[in-house]
Amino acid sequence: SLDFNVINHMAKADPFKAAAELEKRKGGMTAKDYDRALTIVDNTKRSVGSVNIAQEVLAGHIGDDGKLNVSFDQMQQEAERKAKSIAPGDAIMLKHTSDALRGLYNQKIYADKQFRWENTQTVDAAIQNGVKDIQQLRSSSPDVAAAIDSLPKSEQLKLPSRINAYNAARDKVASQDSLTRLTGL
């Protein structure tokens, strides 16, 4: 039972080290303790190991621009290869790894969309404060300048037309009144 407690404690911190230690202590343990310890180590390896593999694979494919440089299917194949090398023949480990990767991938996609949306809202609010060009927009606030820099290049190129469109819509009524007055004179 002392060996079981040691393995149980080690499995919480490092399940792969606990698996190696379990094999070393196998001869000195009762069959019941060994089976319980093996179950704990296997379950911990699956839960912790699968997430570690998924994080490693995902982090390895994020470029300098923060975008993924391979498809999800390629990352999934890589994660499954790593899971098979760590736990050969363990279908549950394979499934846990695939599920962990899908969860982390979806979180990243959502976080990227949320970040882009927040930056777009910051820029739109600054445009509605009445700027005339991109330089005035950038100089309106350091937060706005950071939000502009965080937007994709395609969105940055659209900012002058968005500024012009907002200003034209805002000034349309006043411009029409001025045109009518001038035509009348």
Q: How far apart are the first and last CA of the chain?
A: 102
pLDDT of amino acid 55: 92
* Partners of 62 in beta bridges: 68
Find out whether 57 and 83 touch, Cβ atoms under 8 Å. no
Asked if the model's pLDDT at residue 174 lies above 80, the reply is no
Q: Which residues does residue 50 pair with via DSSP β-bridges, in sequence order?
A: none
Phi and psi (nearest 5°) for 36?
-65, -45
d(CA 54, CA 81): 11
CB 6 within 8 A of CB 21: yes
pLDDT tens-digit readout, 149-167? 988 888 889 999 999 988 8
| Residue 180 binned pLDDT confidence (cut-offs 50, 70, 90) | confident
Q: Which of 45, 1, 43 is nearest to 20 (CA)?
A: 45
What's the pLDDT tens digit per position in 113-155?
999 999 999 999 999 888 888 888 999 889 999 999 988 888 8
Residues 137, 144: contact at Cβ < 8 Å? yes
User: Alpha helix locations (H) across 14-60?
Assistant: 15-25, 31-44, 50-60
7 vs 37, 38, 77, CA distance in Å? 7, 9, 32
Pairwise CA distance, residues 12 & 50, whole Å: 14
- The pLDDT confidence band at residue 109, using thresholds 50, 70 and 90, is very high
Has this prediction a pTM greater than 0.95?
no
How crowded is residue 163: how many other Cβ atoms within 10 Å of its Cβ?
Answer: 20
